[in-house]
């Protein structure tokens, strides 16, 4: 994979890059209209999605940072994005063009004050893993093999301007409008800013390790604050395969089951006991060790769950509440899915829509154990997402629905469900979260 010698940092450069990408997308649409004349709508649309996904991803990966992070977030929701986008954008999770060795050395010295060769006994300037906000290098010190994560130059300073450029796309795609829509973009901006603070990530990582080390088959690296800074993070090098690589093999079902149980227990303990959750569950943040333990990495994106959201959110996972029209509607108002200015039509529409959605999405919580290899369950989720994306009535209404906390909680559950399905784990003990 070709390395990058510089990253566009200024607002003008980054905006120019996105304009060029937009022009390519425009050409793709011209090709699409021409292809419709000689082939089926399905074939023409498939080709359009493939071309657009390729061009948009190529543009974003040069920018890195928050622009690429948004693509990563979108790739996690397979019910919304066409498959071509999911496949291409998912590369942003752990496989993008790295910085060149020369730029790595300059960046490290700028952020740490010393050359990496003065800090470590050995440092490999060629990265082993590049993602949206930073890339990882292998190093040695005092006989220990280490992973050193270096943040890309200019990432923190470009978050606000990047999101301003992406905002029109998000508004069109997710039908977000109205005077309160800024609260969603502010939530994303705040979380992205936190992810650029590696001092905070070290603190959060050590907190999670201490709290979750009791979970069976779950391992974590040790973190080294003295070898880290706001833009440099050093931890143990962990041997293993990325989860997506591991699941591509023909694995023993027993291994898949205990890995899935470890993953589920990890998330349920965070959500229901810590009230703070690792809100970035994608394959690039998990490894499977040679001993078939699950290794959790990268705690830069942590979402604190306030009781004002947690209580009504999980009360709607209770089957009795789901089937009680009065209680159900009351909780929808508490979660800002229904709003005081809604008329009769809006209340009926969104109550029915979210009852259908939540009845399906909370299905695992209604059982003692759940089979996450069940293709029917996940096909229902996909079909429901497709149904809502095509709903003309929904497009005419204000799609600006729900508490700002939904953004990262939904991201957490979509990501977790996708990982559980990839593992094809069976007989996963769900646990009664009321008793956790």
- For the segment 101-124, what is each residue's pLDDT rounded down to a tens digit? 898 999 999 999 999 999 999 999
**Pairing between β-strand 294-296 and β-strand 218-219 as defined by DSSP bridges:** parallel
Kindly give the pairing relationship between strand 129-130 and strand 134-141.
antiparallel
Q: Look at residue 88 in the predicted model and tell me its pLDDT.
A: 46
Which pLDDT score is estimated for 85? 47
Cα separation, 383 vs 387, in Å, equals 6
CB of 360 closer than 8 Å to CB of 380: yes
State the helix-helix crossing angle for 41-63 and 65-75, rounded to 10 degrees.
Answer: 140
**Residue 310 confidence (pLDDT) above 60:** yes
Would the pTM count as exceeding 0.85? no
Residue 172: pLDDT above 70?
no
List, for residues 190-226, the tens digit of each pLDDT value: 888 898 899 999 999 999 999 999 999 999 999 999 9
Q: Please state the length of the chain.
A: 436
Rounded CA separation 281/23 (Å): 33
**Residue whose C-alpha is closest to residue 372's, from 194, 278, 253:** 253
């Amino acid at each position: 994979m070709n390395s990058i010698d510089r990253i566009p940092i200024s607002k003008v450069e980054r905006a120019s890059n996105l304009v060029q990408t937009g022009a390519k997308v425009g050409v793709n649409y011209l090709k699409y209209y021409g292809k419709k004349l000689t082939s089926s709508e399905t074939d023409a649309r498939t080709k359009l999605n493939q071309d657009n996904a390729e061009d948009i991803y190529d543009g974003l990966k040069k920018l890195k940072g928050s622009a690429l992070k948004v693509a990563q977030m979108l790739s996690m929701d397979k019910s919304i994005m066409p498959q071509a986008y999911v496949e291409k954008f998912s590369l942003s999770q752990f496989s993008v063009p790295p910085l060149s060795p020369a730029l790595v050395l300059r960046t490290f010295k700028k952020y740490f004050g010393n050359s990496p060769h003065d800090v470590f006994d050995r440092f490999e300037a060629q990265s082993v893993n590049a993602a949206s906000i930073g890339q990882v290098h292998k190093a040695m010190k005092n006989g220990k093999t280490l992973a050193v994560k270096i943040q890309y130059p200019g990432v923190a300073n470009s978050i606000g301007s990047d999101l301003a450029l992406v905002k029109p796309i998000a508004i069109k795609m997710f039908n977000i409008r109205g005077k309160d829509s800024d609260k969603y973009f502010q939530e994303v901006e705040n979380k992205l800013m936190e992810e650029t603070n590696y001092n905070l990530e070290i603190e959060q990582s050590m907190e999670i390790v201490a709290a979750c080390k009791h979970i069976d088959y779950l391992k974590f690296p040790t973190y080294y604050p003295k070898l880290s800074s706001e833009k440099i993070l050093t931890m143990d090098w962990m041997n293993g395969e990325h989860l997506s690589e591991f699941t591509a093999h023909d694995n023993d079902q027993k291994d898949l089951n205990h890995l899935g149980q470890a993953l589920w227990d990890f998330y349920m303990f965070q959500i229901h006991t810590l009230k703070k959750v690792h809100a970035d569950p994608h394959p690039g943040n998990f490894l499977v060790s040679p001993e078939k333990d699950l290794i959790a990495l990268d705690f830069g994106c942590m979402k604190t769950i306030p009781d004002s959201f947690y209580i009504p959110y999980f009360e709607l996972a209770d089957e009795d509440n789901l089937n009680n029209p009065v209680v159900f509607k009351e909780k929808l108002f508490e979660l800002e899915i229904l709003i005081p200015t809604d008329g009769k039509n809006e209340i009926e529409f969104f109550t029915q829509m979210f009852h259908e959605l939540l009845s399906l999405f909370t299905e695992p919580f209604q059982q003692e154990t759940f089979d996450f290899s069940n293709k029917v369950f996940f096909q229902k989720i996909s079909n429901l997402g497709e149904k809502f994306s095509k709903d003309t009535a929904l497009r005419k209404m204000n799609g600006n629905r729900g508490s700002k906390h939904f953004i990262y909680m939904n991201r957490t559950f979509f990501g977790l469900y996708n990982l559980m399905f990839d593992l094809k784990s069976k007989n996963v003990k769900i646990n009664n979260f009321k008793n956790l």
